[in-house]
Structure 1
Amino acid sequence: MAELLDPEAVTTALRELDGWSGDPAALTRTVQLPTFADAIAVVDRVAVVAESMDHHPDIDIRWRTLTFRCSTHSAGGVTGRDTELARRIDEIVSNQGEPRGLEDEG
């Protein structure tokens, strides 16, 4: 089983993850893509990565807004697998259109 990260390690990881927030329970990021089709394309790409890692985020889809939540349920919180998945999600999002964080909504 993956080892839980302590609060300090989670804080350190969050400094290196663009747009993510969270605590030792879970890492969360919400992005808005230009179109619904772009959002679904991101979900499709994340699904392929998640399957290859055998580690799956919770994903909430609201039109073109996606919220990702990474937590290792079997360990009861955030592990290194979650920070790696978050990095991979960042790569996917940054390569798809011009995503905006919700803070850009005005």
Structure 2
Amino acid sequence: MTGVCDRAPDFLSPSGEQVLGPVLGSAVALNCTAWVASGPQCPLPSVQWLKDGLPLGNGSRYSLQDSWVKANLSEVLVSSVLGVDLTGAGDYGAFTCCIRNVSSSSFTLRRA
């Protein structure tokens, strides 16, 4: 039996895999927001971003803003916004937001 802390996040954004076509030279903000199970026994959820299946490391050239809002005793709203400046062809790819390494939601940036 799984515990309350193991419940998969309920993603609000994106609601499914999104494929975006921003033009070279533009900037995009990828918003990953989800309701996550919370409680005294649950750790604060962790958020990790991947590009083409590989973790974005500390000091990478992407901007990142995370926030947690405790809504009630059973859920917390987690929001992570990844800023991507599209300066070259290598900036396009599949970006994945993982919350607590239990669940994930994806964005794909394709050159327009």
- Where on the TM-score scale, by shorter chain, does this alignment land: which range? 0.3 to 0.5
* Structure whose residues are more often strand by fraction: 2
